Chain A
Amino acid sequence: MSQPNSTHTPQLVTRDGAVIPDGWTLLADDDTTGADGPFILSFERALRELDGRNGHYGVRVLPADDVRLLEPFLEKITLIEVAFPGYRDGRGYSTARILREDFGYTGIVRAVGDVLRDQLFYMLRCGFDEFVVKDKDPSQAITSAAQRFQTVYQGAADSNRPAWAKRHTLA
């Protein structure tokens, strides 16, 4: 179940357990030429430039970034990468829930950085749908995380119903 600080190569996996290629390129802040194919802007750059751009972009959100500032531009954003520079920094979970639950954002929310199999359960619940995971078997890591708990106690960004909801529809 656990493989923290894994040395395995990061792979991109979807919430359904499919390992997929990553077609996105992270654009350096001083890169003015753009990239072939879809690219990802830093948070600061997105705030500066998205107003004047047309098209569809990715944005990388760091833990200290206030994701609410992206609200005016969400129509132009098809991918939001939420960075987890360290395992213990839990700000990205709030970021994802704000996107999904406050804004109803339907684009891709992707977890990148220090993403280990032990976090996947929480990330799934907070509305992430893609993960760059360091694990020997990312596909298995996702499916086992999704099935780890039959009971959850909170409403969150996923479709799991909290125990109280199940209790009172059964009755």
Chain B
Amino acid sequence: MSATMYKYDDFDHAFVRDRNIEFADQVARRLSGEITEDQFKPLRLMNGLYLQLHAYMLRIAVPYGVLSSRQMRKFAHIARTYDRDFGHFTTRQNLQFNWVKLAEAPKILEELAEVEMHALQTSGNCIRNTTTDQFAGAARDEHSDPRPWAELIRQWSSNHPEFTFLPRKFKIAITGAQKDRAAIRVHDIGLHAKPEGFDVYVGGGMGRTPSLGHCIRTGLPGEKLLSYLEACLRVYNRYGRRDNIYKARIKILVAALGPDEYKRQVEEEWARMDQAKVDAPVAEIDRLKSFFPDPEFKAAAFDRVAYQRAQTADAAFARWIKNNTNPHKRDDHVSVTISLKPVGLPPGDASSAQMDVMADVADAFAYSELRVSHEQNIILPHVHKGDLYALYSQLDAVNLSTANVGKITDMIVCPGLDYCSLANARSIPLAQDISQRFEDAQLSDQIGDLQIKISGCINACGHHHVGHIGILGVDKQGIEFYQILLGGRADEKAALGVITGKGLPAEAVPAAIERVVRLYLDLRTSDSERFIDTLERVGRETFAGALHEPA
């Protein structure tokens, strides 16, 4: 069985092959000393190769987070052969290998090309990997499948001749469901696919100047999507600031012009453009759509009685079902989230053995398909309910059955000072401390949905601005301090969190969060009032006092 996903044709294969030949030549020149590290830097960055604190890091593109079991097995092989036996799934739905040797990078890219993958445009001031809903094509609340559009954008943005030297990196996200699981309002461009066309949001982002995207267009026909994006990008490329790296994202331009004026310029550009030259024809859009049919769903009758009995017999299984499954468009299927957030281990990491098991269970129970979510978990989008217990048992055997999806220990965490040369503070050890404090399953379930997001510096790779509780690491005269933000969310009611109270040393953070959470449990009107609902009802200030030790 092979996953229902886009498959390369000769044109796509040729593109990746040409790019890899070029990069192998660039690496050879660097290794021979023909070019210096300074000269090599912009070239390696175009191929996703970063120099981190201790080693090279290779960031591999997982287009809109969709993976086949075969690709997952290739990751396992690369982790075993070229890295320290693990990989790290990122908030851009990509995969990073943190301990790569420069001389081996071309060989890794060659191996990736065998499974239709590459590391292009995972860094640099270009259009990055488009991200989308991890439950695309499966979710019950979906009205339009975003994947064909994400693929259309992937191809259009690959090696774009005009937009490879933008003022800054550029990130696009698409959702096609009622619930926004793709965080479109905090992207440079956010697209909401609807039956009547696209809503286009521009100028969202996090980093130093967080902002929510503005809707500049509704009902944009899909066959005009590329030319409209091209107009958006052209205005940004021409007028985005280039004098200050921290003011170079499109959100700054949109704020400076005002959304109305930015929109006017885009529409003017769009009207003038030869759109037929930019927009792929309907035949191509139909071709892309043809890669994303439903899998051939298992027809096996669903034995509801056995399913209930298994849950009654095994409370841990019942809890996993409750927390780690998402409603599927078919009653006899669900989408399963495999949590990569076990207590006490770095969020988003998976060992080669775990990757192999995820590939195996995808083949056995999930039509060979997996997804990476921006929450850094792995998803099996289509699983027959009758297979859940067997699936759960196999995952449980390799420590992949953590039942905490959407819960307080399912944190988004950047790599922080342990890996990243930009970080001011550590993130992963703090996340581990917090997850240990809320290790108790009963407590975690009692608290319910609560998103903590941690960034080790102001660049906000851990999305702290949109955590229900956000944590930002700062450096205060050589000491790591953490600021707490409350009230952020990245869903369809997107809002930015606000720094609350004074900064705390690392060791004080878990207790402060526990006090906030205990206060929430006291204040909520019912079990179904989530933390974020209570916070919005009673106001942030109510929680400010709880952050600090009572005097």
Contacts and interface: CB of A to CB of B under 8 A. Distances in A.
Interface in A127-159: 148-156
Contacts of B283: 168, 171
B247 to A, nearest CB: 15
Given A2-B26, A148-B18, A168-B281, A88 B165 contact: yes
B164 A151 contact: no
Q: Which of B9, B29, B162 has the most C-beta atoms of chain A within 10 angstroms of its own C-beta? A: B162
Given A5-B39, A94-B162, A122-B161, A151 B18 contact: yes
Contacts of B522: none
16 contacts: A1-B25, A1-B29, A2-B40, A88-B42, A90-B163, A90-B164, A93-B237, A94-B237, A97-B162, A102-B272, A125-B161, A150-B15, A150-B18, A153-B157, A154-B161, A155-B278
A163 B12 contact: yes
A5 B37 CA distance: 12
B284 A153 contact: no
A67 B29 CA distance: 38
Contacts of B164: 90, 93, 122
Interface of A: 1-5, 63, 66, 87-91, 93-94, 97, 101-102, 118, 121-123, 125-126, 148-156, 162-164, 166-168, 171
B536 interface: no
B6 interface: no
**10 closest Cβ contacts across the A-B interface?**
A90-B165, A125-B161, A155-B277, A151-B15, A164-B284, A163-B11, A164-B280, A122-B161, A151-B11, A150-B14
Contacts of A150: 11, 14-15, 18
B159 A149 contact: yes
Residue from A3, A151, A156 whose CB has the most chain B CB atoms within 10 Å: A151
Nearest to A5: B39
A91 to B, nearest CB: 6
A93 B128 CA distance: 19
B533 interface: no
B392 interface: no
B519 interface: no
Contacts of B166: 90
Contacts of B273: 101-102
B303 interface: no
A168 B238 contact: no
A130 B159 CA distance: 21
Nearest to B25: A1
B238 A88 contact: no
Contact of B12 (A125, A151, A155, A168): A151
B274 interface: yes
A1 B26 contact: yes
A123 B238 CA distance: 16
B52 interface: no
Contacts of A171: 283
Interface string B66-89: 000000000000000000000000
Given A148-B22, A151-B15, A156-B161, A2 B155 contact: no
Contact of A93 (B22, B159, B165): B165
Interface string B12-35: 101100110010011001000001
A12 to B, nearest CB: 22
Question: B-side binding surface: helix, strand, loop or mixed?
Answer: helix
A44 to B, nearest CB: 18
B38 interface: yes
Interface string B320-359: 0000000000000000000000000000000000000000
B410 to A, nearest CB: 36
Nearest to B280: A164
A107 B320 CA distance: 67
A163 B29 contact: no
A80 to B, nearest CB: 16
Nearest to A63: B242
A93 B14 contact: no
Contacts of A89: 165, 242
Contacts of A2: 25-26, 29, 35, 39-40, 43
Contacts of B22: 1, 148
Given A63-B242, A90-B125, A90-B164, 8 more contacts: A87-B42, A89-B165, A94-B162, A102-B273, A148-B22, A149-B14, A150-B15, A163-B11
Interface in B270-298: 272-274, 277-278, 280-281, 283-284, 287
A46 B534 CA distance: 63
A101 B274 contact: yes
Nearest to B15: A151
B148 to A, nearest CB: 13
Contact of B18 (A4, A126, A149): A149
B35 A167 contact: no
| Of listed A66, A93, A102, A162, residue having the most chain B CB within 10 A | A93
B281 A126 contact: no
A162 B12 CA distance: 11
Nearest to A126: B161
Contacts of A153: 15, 155-160
Contacts of B156: 153-154
A88 B45 CA distance: 13
Given A1-B22, A89-B242, A118-B43, A167 B9 contact: yes
Given A1-B26, A93-B162, A102-B272, A167 B284 contact: yes
Nearest to B154: A153
B234 interface: yes
B236 to A, nearest CB: 10
Nearest to B24: A1
B237 A91 contact: yes
A4 B35 contact: yes
Q: Quick one: which of B42, B156, B161, B277 has the most chain A CB within 10 A?
A: B161
Contact of B284 (A3, A90, A168): A168
Interface string B168-181: 00000000000000
Contacts of B165: 87-90, 93, 122
